[in-house]
Amino acid sequence: MSSKKFAGIGIGIIAVIAITAISISNTSEVQLSMPNSSDLQGLEQGNIAPDFSLIDPEKGFISKQSFQGKPLFVFFTTTWCTPC
């Protein structure tokens, strides 16, 4: 192997090590903040939920009023959250 190829490989290895070290040292832990349960306000039994409307891909807009007098359970989830 020629000395130019050997030097090129050595510089490449050093560059990869340096970039890896820099990226590891710049990584900081992200702390997610969750509100305290004492800060959360929910509805008490018998109180009325605020009005809302949602888009149903099959039926169009659906509002809370369309469920007037019927029990309603709302479950929010996402497509990317597998355990949700």
Round the CA-based radius of gyration of the chain to a whole number and report it: 28
Non-local (6+) Cβ contacts of 64 within 8 A are 49, 51, 52, 53, 72
Q: Report the pLDDT averaged over residues 4-31.
A: 78
**Each residue of 18-64: pLDDT tens digit?**
888 777 766 555 555 666 666 667 778 888 878 888 888 888 888 88
pTM listed for this prediction: 0.35
pLDDT of residue 40: 66
Which helix (DSSP H) or strand (DSSP E) does residue 56 occupy? strand 53-56
| Whether the predicted pLDDT of 75 surpasses 70 | yes
pLDDT at 35: 63
Contact, 42 vs 35, CB < 8 A? no
User: Residue 55 has what pLDDT?
Assistant: 87
